[in-house]
Amino acid sequence: MRTVTATHASRGFSDLLDAVEHGETIAITRAGHVVAEIRPAAATTGRALREALAGVSRLDEDLESDIAAATALLTTEQDDPWRVD
């Protein structure tokens, strides 16, 4: 694993991403100690999610209908109250 300083990482971030894309893991240090690691993202599939959900019991009918009713109240026509113009 290669180790670089935070300053070097910020100045050469694109190069670090290229190295990570090719499978390398890079430790980033600040003040002499490791504060982060950049590593390739793990490939994921829907299978992992299906396996995780396989043991979870289904929602009861009342909860499912409550969720459906709440979802029906949502609209996309309303302006975003958090948007700053």
| Cβ contacts of 4 within 8 Å, gap of 6 or more | 12, 16, 26, 27, 28, 29
What mean pLDDT is predicted for residues 37-50? 83
Which CATH number characterizes residue 7's domain?
3.40.1620.10
38 has a pLDDT exceeding 90: yes
21 has a pLDDT exceeding 70: yes
Q: Which two tokens stand for residue 77?
A: 């026509």
pLDDT at 85: 65
pTM, whole model, 2 decimals? 0.52
18 has a pLDDT exceeding 70: yes
Residue 32 maps to a domain = yes
Q: Which two tokens stand for residue 69?
A: 């009713």
Residue 9 maps to a domain = yes
Residue 78 maps to a domain = no
C-alpha triplet 82, 76, 63: angle, nearest 5°: 100
**Residue 84 DSSP SS3:** coil
Residue 77 maps to a domain = no
Residue 66 maps to a domain = yes
Residue 81 maps to a domain = no
How far apart, in whole angstroms, are the C-alpha atoms of residue 70 and residue 65? 9
Domain enclosing residue 37, as ranges: 2-72
Residue 40 maps to a domain = yes
